[in-house]
Amino acid sequence: MRELGCPARELHRTGSRREGGKHEQAKTTGKRRSETTGGDMETSQAHSSERSKDLSELMKEATKEVHEQAENTPFMRNFQKGQVSLHEFKLVTASLYFIYSALEEEIERNKDNPVYAPVYFPAELHRKAALEEDLEYFYGSNWRAEIPCPEATQKYVERLHYVGKNQPELLVAHAYTRYLGDLSGGQVLKKIAQKALQLPATGEGLAFFTFDGVSNATKFKQLYRSRMNALEMDLATKKRVLEEAKKAFLLNIQVFEALQELVSKGQENGRTVQPKAELRTRNVNKSHEQGKTLLRAGV
């Protein structure tokens, strides 16, 4: 009889190949499951970390990069070096007036809303009245008709109104970035402006930086953060608040860039800007009315 070969051996080989294939498939499937599980675990850990961290801590981390960008715009770099003219300072004060007017209008709209009420501190923080005082000092009684509102400032104002009316849970992002910044770096800018512009030691022109309702800035900032951290919000809302805080800084950057452009165009068109040297040598002991006259003549 003709030998038919070794079917048992062939079967064994075939079975081995099949078993080997199943083993490789099982390994691949296991690897995929492991990768998926690992990815899920990483996502879960990230979410757990976000849940465990305070909102103020998350906001500081989320805005670190855009905060540095804002500080490094040409306008702010020059300001921090004391290279700021009266014209520039008046322009930024005017823009701040429009921004804080919008912000505080929306804060008042939402002062009883649980998404904002815990951080409602009008007596301690609100800046509109102080900015009106500064603008009257710089421009005179007709200041409302004289101050400019650049397009970038208007864009910021529109965003604040939109948030206040449609997404009030995001309002805290704008309040936090503005007011706590004013209580921190803003105090450094106050000293720089007073020295560079030789503003009166009695504080005229610098009311914006003066918080009469806050006796201890460090303690107040701690209180504000604790109130903000206690706001009830789910993880999805918290992420939206962090994104809005970054947007607030980007809007600030656009305002600074627009102001720098206005200043540059003014210089190109021969606009009279009071020299810094003249500002430094001004006699700061002159009366308030004399000071206002000199300041108005600077632009």
pLDDT beyond 90 at 299: no
**Cα(208)–Cα(199) distance, integer angstroms:** 13
Distances (CA, A) of 195 to 164, 282, 284: 37, 11, 11
205 Ramachandran zone, left/alpha/beta (phi>0; psi -120 to 50): left
* pLDDT band at 103; cut points 50, 70, 90: very high
Q: What is the CATH number of the domain that holds 144?
A: 1.20.910.10
* 36 has pLDDT over 70: no
Provide the greatest CA pair distance for the chain.
Answer: 130
Q: Is residue 19 part of a domain?
A: no
Confidence grade of residue 260 (pLDDT, cut at 50, 70, 90): very high
| Model pLDDT, residue 22 | 54
pLDDT at 104 over 90: yes
Domain that holds residue 204: 57-296
Q: What is the per-residue pLDDT for 268?
A: 56
Q: Is residue 48 situated within a structural domain?
A: no
**Who has greater pLDDT, 273 or 236?**
236
The answer, yes or no, to whether residue 262 has pLDDT greater than 50, is yes
Average pLDDT, the chain: 82
Q: What is the average pLDDT across 213-238?
A: 97
pLDDT of 28 > 90? The answer is no
pLDDT band at 6 (very low <50, low <70, confident <90, very high): very low
Place 265 in a pLDDT band, splitting at 50, 70 and 90: confident
Is the residue at 140 inside a domain?
Answer: yes
Q: Return the DSSP state at 215.
A: S
**Cβ contact 291:200 at 8 Å:** yes
Residue 35: band (very low, low, confident or very high) from pLDDT cuts 50, 70, 90: low
Kindly state whether residue 276 falls inside one of the protein's structural domains.
yes
Average pLDDT over residues 262-267: 77
Q: Which residue has the higher pLDDT, 44 or 275?
A: 44
Question: What pLDDT does 10 receive?
Answer: 42
Indicate whether 157 belongs to any domain: yes
Q: What is the pTM of this model?
A: 0.75
Write out 133-144 in H/E/C secondary structure: HHHHHHHCCCHH
Distance between alpha carbon 183 and the CA centroid of its chain, in Å? 14
Residue 123 located in a structural domain: yes
Confirm whether 100 is domain-assigned.
yes
What is the domain count for the chain? 1
User: Residues 58-77: pLDDT tens digits?
Assistant: 999 999 999 999 999 999 99
Q: What is the predicted pLDDT for the residue at 264?
A: 83
pLDDT digits (tens, 9 = 90+) for 160-191: 999 999 999 999 999 999 999 999 999 999 99
> CA-to-CA distance for 194 and 162, rounded, in angstroms?
35
Could you count the other beta carbons within 10 Å of the beta carbon of residue 285?
10
78 within a domain of the structure (yes/no): yes
